[in-house]
Amino acid sequence: MQTKTTPGAMLKAMREKPPLVQCITNYVAMNIAANVLLASGASPAMVHAAEEAGEFAAIASALTINIGTLSTQWIDGMQAAAKAATSTGKPWVLDPVAHYATAFRRNAVAELLALSPTIIRGNASEIIALAGGESRGQGVDSRDPVEQAEGSARWLAERQRAVVAVTGAVDFVTDGERAVRIEGGSVLMPQVTALGCSLTCLVGAFAATAPEDIFGATVAALSTFAIAGEEAALGAAGPGSFSWRFLDALAALDAETLDARVRISVA
């Protein structure tokens, strides 16, 4: 069996056997997230209806759930899919977009957390609020530095027995015992809508590739974004050209370049 010990090795393994990833994501993110997965080498499927979400989760290799544009019908689909993923042994990722904003979102996220996500990926404001802290987030946008969310992430990871990824200028990943920081990316990334949502879907793709190493898979997905983001920013005039350059950079990124350039440090 091939060893998948580095982000580059995981990227290579994903491309050799593209995983089917069921993405229950929001209307804003659907197109860019699907393109991010295709450019990276995975197969996305945006399937959210309550009538089929559970059945689909049983055939997908991983599931991602994002509450960005929520409705009661969507919640039914999310819960059916999360239950099916868990019962068939598939990893699933929760992206709690702006869960602090309304009671409807808070309740939906509390119910999803009770279904034991394998990984939780959010921005700093979302992770601080998930741990019961005072977050300064505005709608879907973070207003808190990642460093401020590190303690919350460690607490949440232990409580949920999940890997928690906090993204921002320097990303942070923990499983409650281990923790790392990942440098890279670009200030243009939060200027392009739904890149965080797309990253959540990519975390699902890596988790499908390396279900035996969920922590490593999460780090690999964030590392891929960090290096592709840096590369895309080099020639970008602003968020518009960054957006298409980012897809090209993901597709062009190879395992060796990723491993040579990634900057991961133990936290």
Ligand X SMILES: Cc1ncsc1CCOP(=O)(O)O
- Residues of this chain that interact with Mg ion (CB under 5 A) are 97, 196
Residues 6+ apart with CB under 8 A from 46: 23, 24, 25, 30, 33, 34
The entry of ligand ADP, ligand X, Mg ion, none near residue 187 (CB within 5 to 8 angstroms by kind) is: ligand ADP
Tell me which DSSP letter residue 138 carries: B
91 lies in the binding site for ligand ADP (CB under 6 A): no
Q: Per-residue string for binding with ligand ADP, 44-73, x by CB under 6 A? A: ------------------------------
Q: Per-residue string for binding with ligand ADP, 144-183, x by CB under 6 A? A: -----------------------xxx-x------------
Q: Is 194 annotated as a binding residue?
A: yes
Q: Is 6 annotated as a binding residue?
A: no
Q: Given strand 119-123, what is the order of strands in its sheet?
A: 43-45, 20-24, 62-66, 92-95, 119-123, 163-167, 171-174, 179-183, 263-266
78 lies in the binding site for ligand X (CB under 6 A): no
- Which position among 10, 14, 29, 112 is part of the footprint of ligand X (CB under 6 A)? 29
At residue 59, what is the residue type?
Answer: I
Opening angle at CA 258, ends 68 and 145, nearest 5: 45
Which residues on neighbouring strands pair with residue 163, listed in sequence order?
A: 119
- 115 contacts 91 by C-beta, under 8 angstroms: no
Opening angle at CA 139, ends 136 and 140, nearest 5: 100
Q: Is 46 annotated as a binding residue?
A: yes
The entry of ligand ADP, ligand X, Mg ion, none near residue 171 (CB within 5 to 8 angstroms by kind) is: ligand ADP
25 lies in the binding site for ligand ADP (CB under 6 A): no
- Joined together, the tokens standing for residue 144 give 């808190």
- Which position among 185, 223, 236, 253 is part of the footprint of ligand ADP (CB under 6 A)? 185
- 99 contacts 78 by C-beta, under 8 angstroms: no
List C-alpha distances in Å: 169 to 128, 158, 224.
Answer: 16, 24, 15
252 lies in the binding site for ligand ADP (CB under 6 A): no
23 lies in the binding site for ligand X (CB under 6 A): no
State which of positions 207-226 bind ligand X (CB under 6 A).
none
Size of the site for ligand ADP (CB under 6 A): 17
26 lies in the binding site for ligand X (CB under 6 A): yes
64 alpha carbon, distance to own chain's centre: 8
Site of interaction with ligand X (CB under 6 A): 26, 28-29, 68-69, 97, 140, 193-197
Give binding residues for ATP as ranges. 121, 167
Give binding residues for substrate as ranges. 46, 194
Give binding residues as ranges. 46, 121, 167, 194
